[in-house]
Amino acid sequence: MDTYEIIARALGYIRDHANRQPSLDDIAASANISPYHFQRLFTEWAGISPKKFLQYLTLNYAKRCLKENRSLFDTAHQTGLSGTGRLHDLFINLEGMTPGEYKNGGENLTIYFSVQSSPYGEFVVASTDRGVCNLFFIDDENPATLLEKEWSSARLIEEEQPIHRQVSAFLFQEKPNGPIALRLKGTSFQLKVWQALLQIPEGTLTSYGVIADHLDTPSAQRAVGTAIGRNPVGYLIPCHRVIKSMGETGGYRWNPVRKQAMIGREAAQTDQDLEGQQTLF
């Protein structure tokens, strides 16, 4: 069992037993390792102790983020996507595919893919000659089968490309060798939603309603949710930072536990002030 599998099993246990306030011993037992080993492994993975990490996952933290970040798009615009956050010294170029590419399932396209590792488990990354078109986290799925569902007519070649290594470095919080270009298949509205997601700073949470308001479509929360659910490049476009308006994390295309891991790890690395927060144990 690799590190992320142990972390995910522990976070899943916490998610299912949060109302019982599980102890460190209980959580470690759920992952079939000793409390000492779990504490050390978790701290190496997250950079902080399990106890402090879990403080970032409380309902209070989520509600506070939603309350404080109503102007998050203005904040992101003022500070830019460079600086000391996840996107330091890096920008992501998002470009939509042509209508023809969008409709024909990738006919005449050659797509290269490879399986890479990350703090959140293995993922398959796929790219054309113009940029990354997919990033799917995988558990037991066949990577080629996942991509065939997206690109029924494309030529798929399993071969690592330099941009694939850039993406892996990005997920490990390392500085990639240059910008990451995205070449995505989506409707005009979906592309607008994905562009909005790129403006959410690291360690920040927002709601579907805030994004709908930002796009001047306040009644389109459901459509925003659908667009987020169809995000083809998990984590690169940070859909995990969007939660329900009541502060609950909600679902996630690549497993709600993985979403919890991303939220907690990002918040911990941006060193949020936790004074007065509740703790699960």
Judge whether 3-104 and 188-279 match in fold: yes
> Would you state the pLDDT for residue 235?
93
**Highest mean pLDDT range out of 59-68, 123-132, 145-154, 256-265?**
123-132
Alpha-carbon distances of 222 from 105, 158, 186, rounded to whole Å: 26, 36, 17
* pLDDT tens column, 81-113: 333 344 433 456 788 776 666 667 778 889 999
Q: In CATH, which of 1.10.274.30, 3.40.50.2300, 3.40.1410.10, 1.10.10.60 is domain 3-104?
A: 1.10.10.60
What's the average model confidence in pLDDT over 209-215? 90
Mean pLDDT value across the chain: 83
Tell me if residue 239 is catalytic.
yes
- Given this structure, which CATH class describes domain 188-279? mainly alpha
Give this prediction's pTM.
Answer: 0.84
User: Which entry of 239, 262, 263, 268 is annotated as an active-site residue?
Assistant: 239
Q: Per residue in 186-216, is it b (16+ CB within 10 Å) or e — as a string?
A: beeebbbbbebbbbbbbbbbbbbbbbbbbbe
Domain boundaries, the chain: 3-104, 110-172, 188-279
